[in-house]
Amino acid sequence: MADLSTNLVEQRQIDRSQMKVSDEIAIEMRDVNKWFGTFHVLRDINLTVNRGERIVICGPSGSGKSTLIRCINALEEHQRGSITVDGTLLSNDLKNIDKIRSEVGMCFQQFNLFPHLTILENCTLAPIWVRKTPKKEAEETAMYFLEKVKIPEQAMKYPGQLSGGQQQRVAIARSLCMRPRIMLFDEPTSALDPEMIKEVLDTMIQLAEEGMTMICVTHEMGFARQVANRVIFMDVGQIVEQNEPEEFFTNPKSDRTKLFLSQILGH
Amino acid sequence: MNDTQTGTVENPAYVRAEMIPEQAPPATQVGVIKWLRENLFSSWANTLLTIVSVYVVYWIIGHIFGWTFFGIWDAGSLSECRAIRDERYGEGASVACWAVIADRWDQLMFGFYPSELYWRPVLAMVLFLVAIAPVLYDNLPRKMLFFTVVSPFLLVWILWGGSIWGPVCVALGFVLGWAVLSYGTALIGRLGATIAAILVPILYWLFAAGPISAALGSVAPIGLEAISSDEFGGFLLALVIGISSIVLSLPLGIALALGRQSDLFIINKSSVMFIEVIRGVPLIVWLFTASLLLNYFLPPGTNFDLMLRVIIMVTLFAAAYIAEVIRGGLAALPAGQYEGADSLGLDYWQSMRLIVLPQALKISIPGIVSTFIGIFKDTTLVVFIGLLDPIGFTNAIRASTDWNGIYWELFIFIGLCFFVACFSMSQYSQYLERKLRTDNR
């Protein structure tokens, strides 16, 4: 799978002119700890993400990588430490949480489109209700982003009538309609057929080229090599190693990382 | 398999030169003949069973058909009915005496509602159908919903009569609550405005609504002749209790289901307690509570309409069941839907209203409708607390000298009326399920 996606991504010339990492801090996690019951899922996570960074988080299943990004938009509550997103401290205050969520887009492994609404309604729902955008304007924005992910002709269909890859691209468009400053991807291609992985990765690369701050939990190592500016390896709820992609893949430092990479790239 | 056409183990190489065109299936595999063969005459045992069944069906229909359709409609009493029968079909023939329904039609339909005012329940029924139409069918103009909102007050006024200012003043309470909510949010915050929007109308109803409506009544005495609840009976009673409980229990049930899912301790526990207590006790016990016990708890001298008490009890009872059915729908929804809504920044009420409830209610439609059907039929239990619904009237009718000894015709007629109502509900729910289906199944 890893080889396949490497090929998929390498076929494409990546335009790096807009990919700039600024000094401005987008996300700051300080000593974040989280437990599920008595199980210690996240242990002393310290992570600073600058605006324009494209970070790939990888690691074995159960290592806490999904939980980590889900803490960023408070889908999971952390118990200790602090998370600051775009200068807003994530606390129990519902106002802050809603503010952060409307600034941070998220794509899920299972897409989580709303099956009772059309594609267009899926995309306009949050702008209309959260941002109070007039309906017509929201629809124009939605069509703009649907064109961008190359499925404007599906706007009047329901999610159940689309393929997995198309659904995931709609999910990306739906997040983009809120004009987020940060995008989180939680294994966006894991539920897809190899052919559909390409179309979703293409969309994600396109986003990266436009300078979006992205954190991706993914096993697409080709994507990580080509697009990421930083790769983070997690195991047992902690960050084990992080480095630039080239260095990370060719010269991993920790034994755990070496083992993981040999398993995932070996076949 | 033909060796020259497809590959074999020894020689696996094979390329098809020509594609096979589509052909019609054999005649025995299509249409009526296939169906008959497969379903009725697939073996000699099945053939025998088919013949026996056809005979049994013929025998049953032969009896019921004659009894039903040659029935006697024009007679004033059972003995008169029998005389006509003997004359027409010979001594002891088995035919129905539908004359009882014609004779007592008004009672079965309206109870003791004054006969010169029958137009009021009929008008109310028509208006009710107009009011409910835009709710049931969303291709009707949305403006009709304004009438739907006004209709409860209008229908109450048409049925019970009295001064028009009573219902108007009650309705004003809701307008007041809405106004407090929409203008108060900016002044005292969301929570404060919500509490105020509940308290202000209650205070208004308790202390202001009565005097205001009395004052308006003395200035502009517009009203219909007042009818007391005792005069309601028959299907009018069954429909008023059934429809009010159904309409009121759905929102209450949704609120209870959300309450039971809530993280807030007090709301959660009180919803659980309410649901379990109401559901754990038979409806007939609640009806007796409504008719007998409530009088002990209320301050002496208060006259709290029995029918209203019954409607409240049946509503609460139905709401507890609806809440559990909807909870099933909420639980069936994938967690991803909640997360999807959350991740877009929708707040709790928005995500419930726009994402969660539409889907959960859709899943729960069969359960909700079957609860409604059950509740509508259970309204016949009110006969035990002395209200004269259609079943109650059968007793009264059979006790009269004219119709002493008749029972089949009455119960078949009542059963048929209930069946028509319940079957329509069931058909509508199936239509709704088909309409709301958005996947490719």
CA of A75 to nearest chain B CA: how many angstroms apart? 7
Secondary structure letter of residue B356 according to DSSP: I
Average pLDDT along chain A = 89
Token output for A187? 């294994």
CB contact under 8 A, A125 and B354: yes
Spell out the residues 6+ positions from residue A105 whose beta carbon is closer than 8 angstroms to its own. Answer: A172, A175, A176, A178, A180, A182, A183, A184, B343
CB contact under 8 A, A161 and B440: yes
Q: What are the backbone dihedrals phi and psi of residue B309, each rounded to the nearest 5 degrees, phi first?
A: -60, -45
Token output for A217? 């939990």
- Between A and B, how many residue pairs show a Cβ–Cβ distance under 8 A? 72
Select the residue from B333, B344, B353, B361 to test the A interface by mutation, using most A Cβ atoms within 10 A.
B344
Name every chain B residue with its beta carbon within 8 A of the beta carbon of A175: 343-344
Q: What is the pLDDT of residue A134?
A: 95
Name every chain A residue with its beta carbon within 8 A of the beta carbon of B340: 108, 112-114
Q: What is the pLDDT of residue A1?
A: 44
Q: What is the pLDDT of residue B18?
A: 84
CB contact under 8 A, B438 and A115: yes
Q: Judge whether residue B26 has pLDDT over 90.
A: no
Name every chain B residue with its beta carbon within 8 A of the beta carbon of A116: 358-359, 362, 436, 438
Q: What is the pLDDT of residue B275?
A: 95
Q: Judge whether residue B40 has pLDDT over 90.
A: no
Q: How far apart are CA A126 and CA A133, in angstroms?
A: 9
Q: What average pLDDT does range B53-78 have in this prediction?
A: 89
Helix (H) or strand (E) holding B223: strand B223-224
Instruction: For chain A, list the strands marked E by DSSP.
Output: 25-36, 39-50, 54-58, 80-85, 88-89, 104-107, 182-186, 213-217, 230-235, 238-243
Structure confidence by residue, pLDDT tens digits, B355-413: 999 999 999 999 999 999 999 999 999 998 888 888 888 888 888 888 888 888 899 99
Q: Which residues of B touch A (CB under 8 A)?
A: 334, 336-337, 339-347, 350, 354-355, 358-359, 362, 436, 438-440
Average pLDDT along chain B = 88
Nearest to A116 among B334, B343, B359 (CB): B359
Q: How far apart are CA A246 and CA A244, in angstroms?
A: 6
To which residue do tokens 């708890």 refer? B297
Name every chain A residue with its beta carbon within 8 A of the beta carbon of B354: 125, 129
Q: Please name the residue of chain B whose CA is at the shortest distance from the CA of residue A158.
A: B438
Q: What is the pLDDT of residue B121?
A: 93
Q: What are the backbone dihedrals phi and psi of residue B264, each rounded to the nearest 5 degrees, phi first?
A: -75, 120
Name every chain A residue with its beta carbon within 8 A of the beta carbon of B334: 110, 112
Name every chain B residue with its beta carbon within 8 A of the beta carbon of A108: 336, 339-340, 343
Token output for B345? 């920044």
CB contact under 8 A, A110 and B334: yes
Token output for A106? 């998220």
> Which residue ranges in chain A fall short of pLDDT 50?
1-2
CB contact under 8 A, B337 and A112: yes
Q: What average pLDDT does range B340-361 have in this prediction?
A: 92
Q: What average pLDDT does range B225-233 have in this prediction?
A: 87
Secondary structure letter of residue A12 according to DSSP: S
Q: How many Å from the N-terminal Cα to the C-terminal Cα in chain A? A: 8
Q: How far apart are CA A129 and CA A114, in angstroms?
A: 15
User: Which range among B226-230, B246-250, B266-270, B328-332 shows the weakest confidence by mean pLDDT?
Assistant: B226-230
Spell out the residues 6+ positions from residue A138 whose beta carbon is closer than 8 angstroms to its own. Answer: A123, A124, A127, A128, A131, A177
Token output for B342? 């959350």
Nearest to B337 among A104, A106, A114 (CB): A114
Q: What is the pLDDT of residue B439?
A: 66
Q: Which residues of A touch B (CB under 8 A)?
A: 73-75, 94, 98-99, 101-102, 104-106, 108, 110-116, 125-126, 129-130, 158-161, 174-175, 178
Least Cα distance to A259 among A243, A241, A246 occurs for: A241
Residues of chain B above pLDDT 90, percent = 42
Q: How far apart are CA A185 and CA A194, in angstroms?
A: 18
Q: How far apart are CA B42 and CA A28, in angstroms?
A: 75
Q: How far apart are CA A15 and CA B16, in angstroms?
A: 47
CB contact under 8 A, A112 and B439: no
Q: Judge whether residue B441 has pLDDT over 50.
A: no
Residues of chain B above pLDDT 70, percent = 97
